[in-house]
Structure 1
Amino acid sequence: MNKKKFLLLIIIIFISNLQAEKLHLAIKYIGLKIINAEIEDHNNVLILTAKSTSLANLMAKTDNKYIIEYENDYLPKKYTKIINQSDYFENRYVIYDRQKEIGKRVSFLDSTKTCEYSIHPRCRDFFSALFYLRKNLDKNPGEIWVDANKITWKVTYRVIKKEKLSSPFGKILTKKVKITFQKESSEEKERSDILTNNLVNEKRNLFFWFSDDQENIPIKAKYAMSPFPIIWKLTKYEK
């Protein structure tokens, strides 16, 4: 390899690394860390991994992976879930045909789960919806359409106030966002993975705190489960 080609390769690798973003998260319940999660956004692909802690393994072992291949504006083309939990497993993907408004789901573990179903033409999965939300907090209030295991949900978000929070960057000002859910499909809810199964519910609100800057980095999330909430907190940020 000559010097020019080598230099060009180094520049491409450097630029590619600059574009990557990685969030490290701790998920807690009753004050105990139960899951370590990472989300990486790189080259129009979101990859999320979630692994239970040693303590949580005693109750429910979790080793999950989610891969979202998206177009502009974080609109998913393909959503893959590989779920390994103590008593629940998935290995499936969904292809979104937005012109026909159809989701095509293929399951490698259970052929009865392979199917086609109706979608909203602008629907997203939970994780691509989060990254879309980061880019659109200026639309206040705003709405997102989410596909959660064949069920379409209308998600409404609103910035309700600003708060100072501790973060990997020190104590910073954040925007607190209230998120509510409205079910738009008539399908019965299916069992799903521990990470996303209960996140959409008409009777419960989800709150996110984003850094008060152009990046809108998710610093914290709180899901109002009963009797205790689930808390997500950013522990490390790389870009």
Structure 2
Amino acid sequence: MSSDRISRRVHTVPASGIRRFFDIAATMPDVISLGVGEPDFITPADIRAAGQYSINHSTAYTSNSGLKELREALAEHLYGRYGVSYDPETELLITVGVSEAMINTGLAILNPGDEVLVPEPCFVAYTASIIFADAKPVFIPTSAADGFQVSAAALEAAITPRTKAILIGFPNNPTGAVMSRERLIEVSKVAERHNLVVISDEIYDRLIYGVDHICFPTLPGMRDRTVLLGGFSK
């Protein structure tokens, strides 16, 4: 298909820099990739057996929200791990990974021209998920000198009448940074002052060492202001 048939929306999405590195690495011998958040061990036998059983016995459509049993188990998991309670019938949605969840969230809450504050460095799909919703990513720089922590002052300085949400991802991909509870509370206060939605990508919540992960919706006043994204692939 010729490029003139592709939508302007798609043309505005930058190509993935990570994929470019993969292409370069593929041309070089003896390259060891340390860049993909993908487990390198074989899927446990009981999970493989359950998948095989399902394929052999049932491949029917499920609920648009995902399997009820899975949503109920996820609600139990989140409550047991973080003490945050969600109704599996009305507040949990199963997606094919966090990238789909980000696209769905953008389409659900963003209007054309809305702005989303995005601390960077960040995961490459953040930009695309915002652009696909006809919204605008506004990047907030962070630095190694400060441990890649998000500054409340920097967020405040970037807010305009079009700002609708803050999209954060901690533990962070690609830096590995972890936000302190104090800094997260500062972010939450910015969101509260300006009536912003917080989209919190916490897919790496279990790849963390030496400190505790702070689940953003557990912060005071944030449960009903936060769209929590997570998964089990990491």
Normalised to the residue count of structure 1, the TM-score between the two structures is: 0.30
Structure with greater strand percent: 1
